[in-house]
């Protein structure tokens, strides 16, 4: 235990560490009477605004919901680490009929491979879950039913998601989450770049989106124009996130539950905008913890690419893939 003086916003965290000194100690704490007198005078001269601010800060720290939330996240991560298992969150982009429809970038998979993936999941007892369903279930209870849950996500909202992927999903009675770029009708962010431009691919129409929504496909936000959010002015990033969300919610007639950062590009400021906008979850790409409960606004995903064979796919959906991948990333960063 220790004496830290008059509590202020600057040293409140120090006081909280020991619950303001209310812990067991073996040695007597010696307090200088002159310091104590000075601290009392400082305390008596605090303004009402200062006192109210301190009270709000302290009340917030002892909020029961926040304390329980922290404890549950500790338990959840410990469970995930012990079991070496977390619900796989899989990331797709385009699904094409054959390689002739592939673009310059490797963000696609053929219909044949996608069907093989879905068949494998079905035959091996996997059940798809969306973020809306996870919120209703309460993400804290995601392991309670002992089901093999998996999340399938698609970025950007390409037309082939409706024409090719959707029939295959229906064939196996699966659902997914598709993240929509709200203010474009083609992949302008990839096409209009000087270096290594992509082919032009059309995005889904509202009629297509509505039909998929009626079936049970969930849609999420992916900004207005697909920028790198951590590399543009914060006000611009805020507009991209908030305007996209409001536009899509008006068109779909329901609240959006989750958001995907374009390119997986984010920082704490961008993440805070997404939190404050009313989303419940946000997904990244190659960043995030092994347990997505650790940070619900930076959930790590597992990308699927045309070079992946079925052995790769089985490894990626097993539930322990991120343990291996994060360990490999740490090893490379230390070398």
CA 306 vs CA 93, 95, 310: distances in Å: 11, 10, 11
The pLDDT of residue 303 is above 90: yes
Distance CA 177, CA 220 (A): 7
Tell me what pLDDT residue 1 has.
60
At 288, the pLDDT band (50, 70, 90 cuts) reads very high
The β-bridge partners of 148 are 126
108 CB neighbour count, 10 Å cutoff: 22
What are 266's two structure tokens? 């984010």
Are residues 104 and 196 in contact, defined by beta-carbon separation less than 8 angstroms?
yes
The pLDDT of residue 334 is above 90: no
Q: DSSP alpha helices (H): ranges in 110-233?
A: 111-123, 131-137, 159-160, 166-171, 188-191, 206-215
What are 276's two structure tokens? 């404050």
Q: Which of 305, 334, 264, 321 is nearest to 108 (CA)?
A: 305
Residue with more model confidence, 23 or 99:
99
Q: DSSP alpha helices (H): ranges in the chain?
A: 12-17, 33-44, 48-61, 64-83, 111-123, 131-137, 159-160, 166-171, 188-191, 206-215, 234-252, 268-276, 310-316, 321-334
The pLDDT of residue 187 is above 70: yes
Q: What is the mean pLDDT of the chain?
A: 92
- DSSP letter assigned to residue 10: T
CA 20 vs CA 12, 14, 40: distances in Å: 9, 8, 16
Domain boundaries, the chain: 12-62, 83-334
CATH architecture for the domain at 83-334: Alpha-Beta Barrel (3.20)
Residue with more model confidence, 328 or 210:
210
Tell me what pLDDT residue 21 has.
66
Q: What is the pLDDT of residues 54-73, one digit of tens each?
A: 999 988 888 898 888 888 88
Q: Which of 21, 44, 23 is nearest to 31 (CA)?
A: 21
Q: On the CB side of 107, how many CA atoms lie within 13 Å of its CA?
A: 20
Q: Which of 80, 78, 83, 173 is nearest to 129 (CA)?
A: 173
Distance CA 116, CA 258 (A): 27
Token pair 């991948």 is at which residue?
325
Distance CA 25, CA 267 (A): 41
């Amino acid at each position: 235990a220790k004496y830290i003086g008059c509590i202020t916003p600057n040293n409140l965290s120090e006081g909280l560490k020991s619950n303001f000194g209310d812990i067991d100690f073996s040695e007597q704490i010696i307090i200088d009477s002159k310091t104590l007198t000075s601290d009392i005078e400082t305390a008596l001269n605090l303004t009402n605004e200062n006192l109210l601010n301190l009270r709000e800060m302290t009340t917030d720290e002892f909020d029961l919901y926040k304390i329980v939330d922290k404890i549950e996240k500790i338990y959840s991560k410990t469970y995930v680490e012990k079991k070496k298992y977390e619900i796989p969150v899989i990331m797709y982009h385009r699904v094409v009929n054959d390689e002739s429809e592939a673009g310059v970038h490797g963000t696609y998979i053929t219909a044949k491979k996608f069907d093989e993936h879905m068949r494998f999941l079905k035959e091996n007892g996997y059940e798809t879950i969306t973020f809306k369903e996870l919120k209703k279930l309460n993400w804290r209870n995601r392991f309670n039913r002992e089901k093999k849950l998996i999340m399938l996500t698609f970025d950007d909202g390409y037309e082939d998601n409706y024409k090719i992927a959707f029939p295959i999903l229906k064939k196996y009675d699966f659902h997914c989450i598709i993240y929509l770029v709200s203010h474009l009708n083609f992949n302008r962010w990839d096409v209009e770049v000087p270096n290594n431009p992509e082919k032009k691919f059309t995005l889904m129409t509202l009629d297509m989106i509505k039909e998929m929504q009626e079936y049970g496909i969930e849609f999420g936000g992916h900004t207005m124009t697909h920028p790198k959010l951590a590399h543009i002015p914060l006000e611009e990033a805020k507009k991209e996130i908030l305007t996209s969300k409001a536009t899509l919610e008006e068109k779909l007639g329901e609240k959006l539950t989750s958001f995907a950062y374009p390119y997986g590009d984010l920082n704490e400021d961008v993440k805070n905008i997404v939190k404050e906008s009313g989303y419940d979850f946000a997904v990244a790409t190659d960043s995030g913890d092994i347990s997505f409960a650790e940070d619900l606004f930076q959930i790590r995903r597992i990308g699927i690419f045309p070079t992946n064979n079925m052995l790769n796919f089985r490894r990626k959906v097993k539930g322990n893939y991120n343990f291996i991948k994060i360990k490999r990333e740490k090893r490379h960063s230390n070398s």
